[in-house]
Structure 1
């Protein structure tokens, strides 16, 4: 079946000498993987590898057999031409991290319009604004709304946040917890939006610790979660 859909690139991997395997989140069918044959080494190739940079927003014409095998793409064009995402070295570091986190976290092979709309909004906002060093934290916390484990904000005055239970608590448990200064910073992000990011001030050490807790939160709630390799690079950029 031939379909035309918008898509967000999650990852790409060179296959052999001339081909590319790309994994994207499509508006029509959720996560799909494609084999692009002959895209390297041919000046006549219609589809170029440069289209498949992390988090690029594309419009693709694809053949979907839906048999659990790699699909094929017939045509591709850029849906949203970014101005800064891949040219600003700091933004590009964050792009690599967010693309890896999304690739780990989004597993559905079915349409999810609300998640797709959130991602396009957030990526367009990131491209068009000065980057806050806290952007990725809010991006990931808001992402949990669509993945089904957004923090329960009942009882926010409690002194602990239980990462496994996803809620605030009065007494510590054996589960991983957020508390003290990091909990105070954590609460700044709940219920806020990207427009308010510049008003959120964190020390470098607290930002790193909070991001560590957020990644652990994902690890506890995403089946098969693996540690993002780009986390170390991102921490180096923001220290």
Structure 2
């Protein structure tokens, strides 16, 4: 499964979507009421589910992304169908339905942070519901996050390291702030969780060597090296 995580991380880093002849799985939508909000998640099931427990990969979109776009463009759905795991595409929150969505990592970003949305407890509740609803191998729950979604992945690993087998993060950071003297850093987990990180050295949005983001969407945040 770690090999699959490397493939997934590489696909995200390349912005690549697979075109495959593999038999397609099916999508289901899970709806959870959390903190007064109705939140929906796309659950993609592989084409063949035998009498066995399956790995689960939760995939977090970047700032202003959404679950449907993530499912259809990141290439992970095709890998899930081929390798036989459940892929999950949660959505952040925003001022409008399925647009301008963000995750609250504790230091970034957008609507979710400004409105103190408790994404950590929501994702925990989502995972519990998925485990109760599908044939899940609880020892093989994985996280994948892009940009703002990667920040949430870091935070989830920090809060619930016992839940996750591994984590892949692309173009993200575990820390940030309004300037270099006001950095908020996500605490490291109290136990080891395998982590693979991909980051372009010329990334202007979350600079590899640290600095202010060039993206107005990130509100000029500073990210450390």
Q: TM-score band, normalised by the shorter chain?
A: under 0.3
Bigger Rg over Cα:
1
TM-score normalised by the chain length of structure 2: 0.27
Greater relative CO, 1 or 2 (CA 8 Å, sep 6+): 2
TM-score normalised by the chain length of structure 1: 0.26
Larger helix percent: 1
